[in-house]
Chain A
Amino acid sequence: MEFLGLSLPLLALFVSFGFMVGVLFGFFGMGGSFLITPTLLILDYPASVAIGSGLAFYFGTSVIAVLKHYDVGQVDYKLGAILFVVLSIGIELGSRLVFGLEALGIANLVTGIAYVVLLAGIGALFLRRASKLDDEDEAEGEDDVDDDEIPAVGQKIQSYNVPPMINLTSGGRASLWTIGGAGGSVGLISGLIGVGGGFIRMPAIYYLIGTPLTAAVGTSLFAGLFSGAFGTFTYGMSGSVDLTVVSLLLVGSALGARIGSAATTMVEEDDVIIYFGIMMVLASAGIALSELANWLGTGALDLVSVLLLVGSSFFVASMILYQVIQSIGAAESDARATPDGGD
């Protein structure tokens, strides 16, 4: 039996996977498109459709994020507008590269390898952070970042006067070449592998262009929304966006993001960050297995790949939900034990 051109199990998979990605997105503040594209690749969608649909999903989640943070903090609109242009050029170049690789028949392989490296790298960073948590607790407060401070690297880059220079709202000046290089590279990665790129865009604005942290977050969100729309448009031009899949994922994700966001007040990020790192490494292994299966010409490893990629994100999202339920249970027990508030 089919509905919207998809079998019921696949339909349920997309909605529930969207929900779990939404929980992770709401909790960790990451877009999650980097989980969507590889999953579609493993499910045998062509690389261009997997990437286009991943970008369209990212655009949808960006709209929800902007609505949620409608006062996106401090936004450098001039920098955001320039970034939108260079990000769009990068996405366009990336998408042309994908279609070129598809013509050569190696798009899925190149995208798969890029994801193995990307997810393993992010996973390693999170595991490193988890292992250092104890040290950070001991040195609490020593390395607190001032939200209005421009990082030393950014100040150093800004000190090189390579015209044309742009005045930033925060007071500093940045070369158009720096903005073009940083934004263009992030856009190229977005267009090539179908990720929103928030996890590299925000650090690029903060460290390379040199804006205060609050402005970097707001400007990244502002530029990301428009570049997501442009990426969707670019891949939509060639019919490489599966609207049914994107819609099902968004239905689950919008609900999951609300729950994930609410969970941040009940569950400590430090308690589950190690699981997030493990999830990334398992997802990377899942894609590597899928590529190995393709190379060996056997579909035997495909199920293991899907289980590793989808199952690991289900596991981490379930861990967060489980801790939320435990936290609510503990709060109720406390309330019963001390009905007068403990006085």
Chain B
Amino acid sequence: MIEAAALPAPVQATLLVGVILAQAVALYVGYGALERVATPLIETIANAR
């Protein structure tokens, strides 16, 4: 649960929306980068077998 008790409820709720938005963007970009790095690596390993 969000425990930013000092902040008013609307600010806490807006922060919550912002955090989830930022997390979703970061995960999308992060996994995308991982895919770009991992795919050629896996293909190289598979071809070497």
Contact = CB atoms under 8 A, between A and B. Distances in A.
Given A239-B2, A243-B1, A64 B16 contact: no
Contacts of B25: 63, 67
Interface stretch (A158-166, A248-256, A283-291): A248-256
Nearest to B26: A254
Contacts of A232: 13, 16-17, 20
A233 B2 contact: no
Contacts of A246: 20
Given A241-B16, A243-B16, A243-B19, A236 B2 contact: yes
Interface string B29-48: 00100010000000000100
Interface string A9-35: 000000000000000000000000000
| B contact patch SS | helix
A236 B13 contact: yes
Contacts of A241: 1-2, 16
Interface residues of B, number: 20
Interface in A26-78: 49, 56, 59-61, 63-64, 67-68
Contacts of A234: 13
A251 B27 contact: yes
Nearest to B16: A236
Contact of B2 (A59, A63, A243, A258): A243
Contacts of A49: 1
B13 A63 contact: no
Contact of B31 (A238, A242, A254): A254
B17 A229 contact: yes
Nearest to B19: A243
Of the candidates A56, A238, A241, the one having the most CB atoms from chain B within 10 angstroms of its own CB is A241
User: Which of A60, A242, A255 neighbours the largest number of chain B CB atoms within 10 Å of its CB?
Assistant: A60
Given A237-B9, A239-B1, A241-B1, A56 B20 contact: yes
A170 interface: no
Contacts of A254: 24, 27-28, 31
Contacts of A233: 13-14, 16-17
A242 B1 contact: yes
A92 to B, nearest CB: 13
A236 B12 contact: yes
B17 A250 contact: no
A229 B25 CA distance: 14
Interface in A209-242: 229, 232-234, 236-239, 241-242
A258 B33 CA distance: 12
A241 B1 CA distance: 6
A229 B17 CA distance: 6
A64 B1 contact: no
Interface string B5-16: 000011011101
Contacts of A236: 2, 12-13, 16-17
12 contacts: A56-B20, A59-B20, A60-B24, A63-B24, A63-B28, A234-B13, A237-B10, A237-B13, A239-B12, A241-B16, A243-B16, A243-B19
Interface of B: 1-2, 9-10, 12-14, 16-17, 19-21, 23-25, 27-28, 31, 35, 46
Interface of A: 49, 56, 59-61, 63-64, 67-68, 229, 232-234, 236-239, 241-244, 246-247, 250-251, 254-255, 258, 332
Closest 9 CB pairs of A and B: A236-B13, A63-B24, A254-B27, A236-B16, A60-B24, A237-B13, A233-B13, A237-B9, A67-B28
